[in-house]
Amino acid sequence: MDWVLPAGFEAAVMFGVLAMALLFKPWLPLTHRPLQSPWLACVALLPFVWWTEHLLPNGMALHVTGACLLVLMFGWPLAMWTLLPIAMGASYIERPVWPDLDTLATRVVWMGMLPATLALGLGLLIRRWLPHHLFVYILGRGFFTTAVSVTLSGALALAFGHKPDTLRGDEWMLAYWLLGWGEAVSTGMLTAVFVAFLPEWLLTYSDGRYLPGASSKGK
């Protein structure tokens, strides 16, 4: 039997997460000049990605969110706050009026905050238990954690009744499994590109941690 969440639950979760993120000073990464331009680019471009939905034959709308990539690029606290203007921008593009709070919160929590937070947890486990290797970071944190986090988000949404009545549970999970792979491919590819050419765009990446001996080059 599905659990039914009380009205306003997503809004309470959204504000609670934003308040928790404030404790970790989410503005600090933006004092690092190399992260300012990519952050502004994400805020400007990702609303259009969220707005461009793909309708499956069963009528379910899916879109890549980039939430897990935001965690890798800017850290969890800033990623949580970045999701808010992205979702608001996408809602405004879709319908140029102030978005309804419950609708906005539902979008932010289930499509952004939940998979991003799961990706953070899985990423910390990978960093703790697996070797500090370049490919572990790219494949583990860029690809694997994204695929698992998005799929788990779908499973949790199904368990808590956040599913249209027109869809069966297996259809819902198949859609989220496909979305997870799509998100993982895009996040993994961009992570690999950033590691190779723009490592300063990844707050969670360090040559000293994942490329032993790199700091001694040129000495």
In the prediction, which pLDDT does 64 show? 87
**Distance, CA of 70 to CA of 116 (rounded, Å):** 8
pTM: 0.91
In the prediction, which pLDDT does 175 show? 86
Take residue 61 and report the two structure tokens written for it.
Answer: 């709308």
Tens-place pLDDT, residues 53-81: 655 555 566 778 999 999 999 999 999 99
Nearest to 169 by CA among 5, 1, 57: 1
**Contacts of 147 by beta carbon, 8 Å cutoff, 6+ apart:** 180, 181, 183, 184
Helix 114-129 to helix 145-159 angle (10° resolution) is 140
CATH number listed for the domain at residues 9-208? 1.10.1760.20
| DSSP symbol at 61 | E
**Distance, CA of 172 to CA of 150 (rounded, Å):** 12
In the prediction, which pLDDT does 147 show? 97
DSSP string, 75-108: -HHHHHHHHHHHHHHHHHHHSSSPPPHHHHHHHH
pLDDT at 151 over 70: yes
pLDDT at 1 over 60: no
pLDDT at 124 over 60: yes
**Distance, CA of 8 to CA of 119 (rounded, Å):** 25
Whether the Cβ atoms of residue 205 and residue 195 lie closer than 8 Å to each other: yes
In the prediction, which pLDDT does 62 show? 72
Take residue 155 and report the two structure tokens written for it.
Answer: 């499973």
Q: Give the residue-averaged pLDDT of 201-213.
A: 88
Q: Give the residue-averaged pLDDT of 121-137.
A: 94
**Distance, CA of 198 to CA of 150 (rounded, Å):** 25
Residue 7 banded pLDDT, cuts 50, 70, 90: low
Nearest to 64 by CA among 155, 154, 181, 171: 181
pLDDT at 218 over 50: no
Nearest to 118 by CA among 152, 95, 93: 152
pLDDT at 217 over 80: no
In the prediction, which pLDDT does 80 show? 98
Share of the chain above pLDDT 90, in %: 67
Q: State phi, psi for 205 to the nearest 5 degrees.
A: -110, 145
